[in-house]
Amino acid sequence: GALGGLGLALGLWRRQVALAAAREDEEEKELRQRFMAPPVSGLRELRRRRRELRSRMELLIMETQAEMCRALAALDPGASFVVDSWERKEGGGGISCVLQDGEVFEKAGVNVSVVSGLLSEEAARQMRSRGKSLKAKDGKLPFCAMGVSSVIHPKNPHVPTMHFNYRYFEIEEADGTIQWWFGGGTDLTPTYLNEEDAVHFHKTLKEACDKHDLKLYPKYKKWCDDYFYIKHRGERRGIGGIFFDDLDSPSKEEVFQFVKSCAKAVVPCYIPIVKKHCHDSFTPEEKLWQQLRRGRYVEFNLLYDRGTKFGLLTPGSRIESILMSLPLTARWEYMHNPPESSREAEILEVLRNPKDWVH
């Protein structure tokens, strides 16, 4: 009798193991279909460590990439994303998804990167200059950084350029202490001002922030206006949005949930604007103004953007993916000034004096 009971228990256990394995395979298949490519850390590893924040963040950035790519592809059915998975010999890798020369988008890129290794001296210096006290062991600082980053340059000058980036950092200090923080933001760069679009964009981001704390949107809206400032031009890169960095309180879980709300807002804050304007007619003069504004975009990204600088200072980083943010075409004209009271002058006024769009 005892042996029969043992056999029964063994059979039951085997069936449970088989069911669990089948469930895992089903889950894996579903995840594969959900993403643009297999995750850098591998699905099995992510599942094994699914309660750890690093794994949850990697799943979030993979989902955000797929959601944005699918939403963009649906608007530009004649074009397709090149999906490029890459490895970094120093540790980690990434997935770059880039659409070029479509009907609607001249260039749209959505990148994911998950990298680890030792922080370069220059990158550590850049972080210390922001008030980080990083205690290295024998001059070495192990780090892990992951994020999703996107820049979308539409063909039509009446559709704004949009950028978003959400990232997570961990650095291990000499005594084994882990320093961690989140950063990110979403911002809009129109060629021509459309107040209705500006209000929709900012309201959507404000709603994402308000779920967590009513103080966040005004604080991060101002931070965005201050950060995307082209000093030598005395103007902002665009009409802003939200931006934050070095966020490490109130708790890891609460900050992660806030970042998740922001990441989930990127499609609803932007895609309706593209749908609304992608078939608007435009003149050669309007296209020319778009090219000149793109020149300003390039100036900011190459001279001031911290993410670009960090990428260029990280050994083994992938330059093609870092410079994905640059448009296919841009223009620099000597001493170009738009006529007073023109629609071109109107956007310049807002870039020099940021507005409150939601109150």
CATH for 195:
3.40.1500.10
Q: Considering the candidates 163, 200, 202, 277, report the single residue annotated as catalytic.
A: 163
Q: Is residue 189 within 8 Å of residue 237, measured between CB atoms? A: yes
Residue 17 has pLDDT above 80, yes or no: no
Q: Is 143 within the bounds of a domain?
A: yes
Does the annotation count 163 as an active-site position? yes
- Measured CA to CA, the distance from residue 107 to residue 79 in angstroms comes to 10
Q: Which whole number is the average pLDDT over 322-338?
A: 94
Residue 291 has pLDDT above 90, yes or no: yes
Q: How many CA atoms lie within 13 A of 155 on its CB side?
A: 16
Instruction: Residue 80: give the domain boundaries.
Output: 33-352
Q: Is 5 within the bounds of a domain?
A: no
> What confidence score (pLDDT) does residue 58 get?
96
> What confidence score (pLDDT) does residue 175 get?
84
DSSP per residue over 12-62, as a string?
HHHHHHHHHHHHHHHHHHHHHHHSSS--TT-HHHHHHTTTSHHHHHHHHHH
Q: Is 16 within the bounds of a domain?
A: no
> pLDDT band at 321, cuts 50/70/90?
confident
Q: Is 343 within the bounds of a domain?
A: yes
Q: Is 19 within the bounds of a domain?
A: no
pLDDT in tens, 221-240: 999 999 999 999 999 999 99
> pLDDT band at 21, cuts 50/70/90?
low
- The number of distinct structural domains making up the chain is 1
pLDDT in tens, 46-55: 888 989 999 9
Q: Is 9 within the bounds of a domain?
A: no
Q: Is 357 within the bounds of a domain?
A: no
| Measured CA angle at 156 (ends 282, 192), to 5 deg | 75
- Round the average pLDDT of the chain to a whole number and report it: 91
Residue 29 has pLDDT above 70, yes or no: no
Q: Which whole number is the average pLDDT over 288-309?
A: 94
pLDDT in tens, 66-78: 999 999 999 999 8
The closest of 243, 219, 346 to 304, measured between CA atoms, is 243
Q: Is residue 159 within 8 Å of residue 72, measured between CB atoms? A: no
